[in-house]
Every structure is written in structure tokens, then in C-alpha cells.
Structure 1
Amino acid sequence: MKTASILGVHFHAVTMQQAVELAMTRLRARQKGYVVTPNPEIVDLCCRDSEYMGIVNRATLVLPDGIGIIYAAKILGEELYGKVAGVEFAEHLVAAMAKENMRLYLLGAKPGVAEQAGAKLCAKYPGLVLAGTHDGYFTDAQEAVDAINSCGGADVVFVCLGAPKQEKFIAENMDEIHATLFCGLGGSLDVFAGVSKRAPDIFIKLGLEWFYRLLKQPSRIGRMMKLPKFLLIVIRERLFGRKGNNQS
């Protein structure tokens, strides 16, 4: 599979359809693996944490979540086929799973949110089997592992604990969990539950979802400033190579 390297993170160059097909192929073959969906903030975390970088780069699928990743690829002359947002990938995957009556487990978010998300997904995609849910407010990872296994396991587990916690949880515990594919999906459960809404389609199509979120929450301005900083680091790498990639 072709990859594009962005500051050391190796993204897979796939379309949404290809990503879902690859995931379903592994599910049918019962091949364990995990999917990560890095945005610029996650790439920045990887640059600061070599262990985390390794976890991300060992993923079965590394999907470009965020227009900043696509801009970075263009700056660096790397080829990606467009943004594959985590929440959109998750919904397309659920739709495919429902056709084969596969089992989904939802882990993360505040108490009650995962149940609400599961109910809405099952109503929207008849045939999907909700194996179980657990909120993200656990202090012992074994508690979550036992909860998933006690329900008979699942084909897919959506792990929505935020980065880097969700990817580290997957890497440390997937061998013990009775499930095939794990997907680190940040705040996706809030979207599926209707607790938070995505930007209108026009903002998404124009690559301005970040701007819509800023309009809704001006307090995010500090967080949003990370995007131009990220792109400056990418430009510096293009001009001067990896030696110039020092974020201190």
C-alpha cells in the first residue's frame, strides 16, 4: 500500500471506499489490526513522543483526518487522495458491517453517550449488532477490557478516548480483547449521539470545518493556531529537511 510521509507519520494513500474495503477484508479474514486517524495535532504529538509515533505507524490503516494533512502532503510533494475523516470512515464502515450483521462495541465519551450513539447507529443501519458500550471514564484499562470480553466480544471496537490515550490503549490491550478491528476515533461518539454536530456540508467540502468550529467556539482560537504552526514546520522540512524539524 502506497504511503505518504508527513513529519515521520506514514499515511496510507487510500480513498474512503478503499479504506472501508480494506477494513472489511480484514474483518472477514479475522485478521486483527487497528485504524488511526491522525490530524495535525496528532502528528505534532507523534513528533514529541517516539513511542506514540511507533504505535501510529504500526497501524493497519493510517488515515489523513484533517485538511491540514492534505495541505502538508502537497507542500512536501507527497501523494494522498484526499481527506478521510475518522467520523466519516466510521459511518461508512458501520454501513458495510450492517449488511453482514457484524458486531460493534463502543468505548468512550461521557456516561450515556455511547449508548445513545449505539441506539442511533442501529436505527440508521438495520442489521448492525451493538455488542455493548462503556464510557471513557475508567481508571483501570482492565475494566474496559473485561467489559468488552464479557459481552462476547465484537468484530469492531470504536475506541473514542482522545489522542494519545486511545491509540495507546489499543496497542497495549488489543491482544487481550476478543475483537478483530480497533478504530481510534476521538469525539466521534458525540457526533453519532447527536451531542455535538459536524459543520454543514459546504464547510466540509471547502475544507473549512476548522473555521466553522472556531465560529461556534471562539475559545478554540489557541488550539486552532496549531494548524498554521504545523504548516510552517512542514514548509521548513520541505526547504531544509528533517534536521530543521525541531519544535523546541
Structure 2
Amino acid sequence: MKTASILGVHFHSITLPQAVDYAMGRIRARQQGYIVTPNPEIVDLCRQDTAFCNIVNHAALVLPDGIGVIYAAKILGEELQGKVAGIDFADALVAAMAKEGMRLFLVGAKPGVAETAGANLCAKYPGLVLAGTHDGYFKDPLTVVSAINDCGGADVVFVCLGAPKQEKFIAEHMEDIHATLFCGLGGSLDVFAGVAKRAPDIFIKLGLEWFYRLLKQPSRLGRMMKLPLFMLVVIKEKLFVRKGTHK
């Protein structure tokens, strides 16, 4: 599988359907692993934290979640087949799981949100088995490990704690959990539960989902300013680090 290196993070060049097929293949083969969905903000975290970057780069799939990653790949001359948003991947994976009666466990968000998200997903995709849920407000990670194991395990666990907490949780505890595939998915449970809404399709198609979020939540301005800074770092990488190199 081809990869594209963006500031030290090795993204897989893959489409959404291909990503789902790959994930399902691993589940059927009981090949344990995890999937991450870095956006520019997470790439920046990787630049600051070598250990976290190592966790991200050892994932079974590293999906480009964010139009900024796609722009960065074009600037750097790296090949990516397009944006694969974590929420889109999660939805498509659940749809495939439902057809085979697979078990899903949800971790994250405020108390009650994971239960609502699970109920909505089961209603949308009959055949899906909700193995259990646990909110994201836990002090001892082992309580989550026990919750998953005590329910009989799961085929897939969505860990929605935000980066880098979710990826570090998965890397540290995966081997002790009776589950096959783990996915770090940020705020996806809020969307599945109806607590938060995604941008209208036109914003998503134009690569302006970030702008819609800013309009809805002006308090995100500080976070959004990281995107132009990220692009400046990418341009610097192109001009001064990769200058004169040929792929």
C-alpha cells in the first residue's frame, strides 16, 4: 500500500471503499490493529511528540482526515487519492459490519452520548450488534478495558477521546482488550448521537467544512489558526528541506 509522507506522518494513499474493505479483511482474519485519522492539527502534535508520531505511524491505516492534508500532499508532491474523513469511514465501516452481524463497542464523549450514538447506529444499520459503551470521563483506563472484556469483547472499538489521548490509550491497552480493530475517531460519537451536526454537503465538497465549524463556533478561531500555520510549515518543508529532490 502506497504511503505519502507529510511532515513525518505516513498517510496511506487509499480511497474510502478500499479502507473499509481492508478493515473488514483484518476483522475477519482476527488480525488485531488500529486505525488513525490525522488532520493537520494531529500532524502538528506528531511534530511535537515523537512517541505519539511513532504510535500514529504504526497504525494499520493512517487516513487523511482534513483538506489541509490533501493540500499539503499536493505541495510536497506526495500522492494521496483524496480525503477520507474519520466520520465517513466510521459510518461506512459500521454499514459493512452490520451485514455480517459484527459487534461494536463505543468509548468516549459525555455520559449518555455513546449509548445514544449506539442506538442510532443500530437503528440505521440493522444487524449491527452494540456490544457496549463507556463514556470518556474515566480516571482509570483499566475500567474501560474491563468493560469491553466483560461484555464478551467486540470486533471493533471506536475510541473517541480526542488526540493524542485516544491513540495513546489504544497503543497502551490494545493487547489486553478482547477486540480486533480499534479506531481513534475524535468527536464522531457526538455526530452519531445527534449532539453535533456536520457541515452541509456543499461545504464538505468544497473542502470548507472547517469554515462551517468556525461559523457555528467562533470560539474555535484559535484552533483554526493552526491550519494556515500548518500550511506555512509545509511550504517551508517544500522550499528548504525537499528542494532539489526528485520522487
Using the size of structure 2 for normalisation, the TM-score is 0.98
Tell me: CA distance 1:242–1:172, structure 2 relative to 1, closer, same or farther (3 Å).
farther
Matches within 5 A, 1:72-221: 72-221=72-221
Distance, in Å, in 2 between the alignment partners of 1:8 and 1:58 is 12
Q: After superposition, what is the alpha-carbon deviation per residue over 1:44-83, rounded to whole angstroms, capped at 9, x for unaligned? A: 0000000000000000000000000000000000000110
Q: Distance in 1 between matches of 2:140 and 2:131?
A: 21
Whole-Å separation in 1 of the counterparts to 2:141 and 2:189: 19
Q: Give SS of 2:157's match.
A: strand
- Uncovered stretches (5+) of structure 1, i.e. residues with no partner: 244-248
Percent same amino acid among aligned pairs?
80
State the TM-score, normalizing by the size of structure 1: 0.97
Letter of the aligned partner of 1:180 in structure 2? T
- Give the distance between the partners of 1:74 and 1:67, measured in 2 at CA: 11
SS at match of 1:65: coil
Q: Please list the CA deviations of residues 110-162 of structure 1 after superposition, one character each: whole Å capped at 9, or x if unmatched.
A: 00000000000000000000000000000111010000000000000000000
- The alpha-carbon deviation at position 10 of structure 1 amounts to 0.0
The root-mean-square deviation of aligned C-alpha atoms, in Å, is 0.9
Following TM superposition, the consecutive aligned residue runs of length 4 or more in structure 1 with deviations greater than 6 angstroms are none
Report the Cα distance in structure 2 between the residues aligned to 1:128 and 1:235, rounded to whole angstroms: 44
User: 1:222, 1:150 → 2: CA distance?
Assistant: 41
Q: Quick one: distance in 1 between partners of 2:19 and 2:65? A: 13
Between the aligned partners of 1:229 and 1:102, the Cα distance in structure 2 is 42
Deviation at 1:163, TM superposition (A): 0.3
Cα deviation for residue 166 of structure 1 reads: 0.1
Task: Please give the secondary structure, in 2, of the residue aligned with 1:106.
Answer: strand
Q: Secondary structure at the match of 2:4?
A: strand
Q: Which residue pairs with 2:18 in the alignment?
A: 18
Alignment correspondent of 2:3: 3
Query: What letter is aligned with 2:48?
Result: R
The one-letter code matched in structure 1 to 2:217 is Q
Count of matched residue pairs: 243
Q: Map 1:20-39 to 2 at 5 A.
A: 20-39=20-39
